[in-house]
Amino acid sequence: VNAISGLTVERHRDYVGAKMGMWVFLFTELLLFGGMFILYAVYRTVHPEDFHYAAQELNTVVGTLNTLILLTSSLTMALSIAAMGAARKKASILLLVLTIALGLWFLVNKYFEWGAKFEHGLYPNSEFLLQHSKGEILFFGLYFTMTGLHGLHVIVGVAILTVVAFKMAGRPDESVEFGEDGISKLEGGRMAVLDGSGRPVWTGGPIDDSVEKVSIRTKYRPVQRRIRREDFAVLENAGLYWHLVDIIWIFLFPLFYLIT
Partner 1 sequence: MGNHAITTSTGAVAGFYSVRRHPGILAWIFSTDHKRIGILYLASMLSFFLVGMTLGFLMRLELIAPGKQIVEAQTYNAMFTLHGVIMIFLFVIPGLAASFGNFMLPLQIGAADVAFPRLNLFSWWLFMTGAALAVVAMFTGGGPPDTGWTFYAPYSIRTGTNVVLAAFAVFVLGFSSILTGLNFLTTVHRLRAPGMTWFRMPLFVWSLYATAWIQVLATPVVGINLLLIIAERLFGIGVFDPAKGGDPILYQHLFWIYSHPAVYIMILPAMGVISEIMPTFARRTIFGYKFIAASSIAIASVGSLVWGHHMFVSGQSYAAGTIFSLLTMLVAIPSAIKVFNWVATMYKGSIVFETPMLYAMSFIFLFSIGGLSGMMIGVLSFDVHVHDTYFIVGHFHYVIFGGMGMAFFGALHYWFPKMFGRMYLRKPAKIAWALILVGFNVLYMPFFVLGWEGMPRRYYDYLPQYHTPHLIATIGSWILVSGILLMLGNLVRSLYRGEPAPANPWGGTTLEWSVPSPPPLENFEEIPHVDRGPYDHEGVGSK
Stretch that binds partner 1, among 144-152, 178-186, 232-240, 246-254 (CB under 8 A): 144-152
Stretch that binds partner 1, among 87-95, 130-138, 163-171, 248-256 (CB under 8 A): 130-138
Stretch that binds partner 1, among 3-11, 62-70, 158-166, 210-218 (CB under 8 A): 3-11
187 DSSP 8-state letter: T
Taking the CA atoms of residue 8, residue 15, residue 154 and residue 249 in that order, the dihedral angle to the nearest 10 degrees is: -160
Residues 246 and 218: their CA atoms lie apart, in Å, by 32
- Is 206 an interacting residue with respect to partner 1 (CB under 8 A)? no
Tell me if 141 sits within 8 A of 129, measured CB to CB.
no
Distances (CA, A) of 130 to 123, 138, 140, 144: 10, 10, 11, 15
Report 15-44 residues binding partner 1 (CB under 8 A). Answer: 16-17, 20-21, 24-25, 27-29, 31-36, 38-39, 42-43
- Select the residue interacting with partner 1 from 85, 91, 98, 141 (CB under 8 A): 141
Secondary-structure percent of the chain, ordered helix, strand, coil, rounded to 5: 65, 10, 25
- Is 213 an interacting residue with respect to partner 1 (CB under 8 A)? no
Report 66-125 residues binding partner 1 (CB under 8 A). Answer: 123-125
- Is 247 an interacting residue with respect to partner 1 (CB under 8 A)? no
Residue 128's SS3 state is: helix
What is the nearest approach in angstroms of partner 1 to the Cβ of residue 170? 19
Q: Which is nearer to partner 1, 37 or 178 (CB)?
A: 37
Residue from 66, 65, 45 nearest 259 by CA: 45
- Is 138 an interacting residue with respect to partner 1 (CB under 8 A)? yes
Residue 175's SS3 state is: strand
Distances (CA, A) of 183 to 202, 212, 259: 20, 7, 68
Stretch that binds partner 1, among 87-95, 105-113, 143-151, 213-221 (CB under 8 A): 143-151
Residues 96 and 227: their CA atoms lie apart, in Å, by 15
Residues near partner 1 (CB under 8 A) are: 4-5, 7, 9, 12, 14, 16-17, 20-21, 24-25, 27-29, 31-36, 38-39, 42-43, 47, 123-125, 130, 133-135, 137-138, 141-142, 144-145, 149
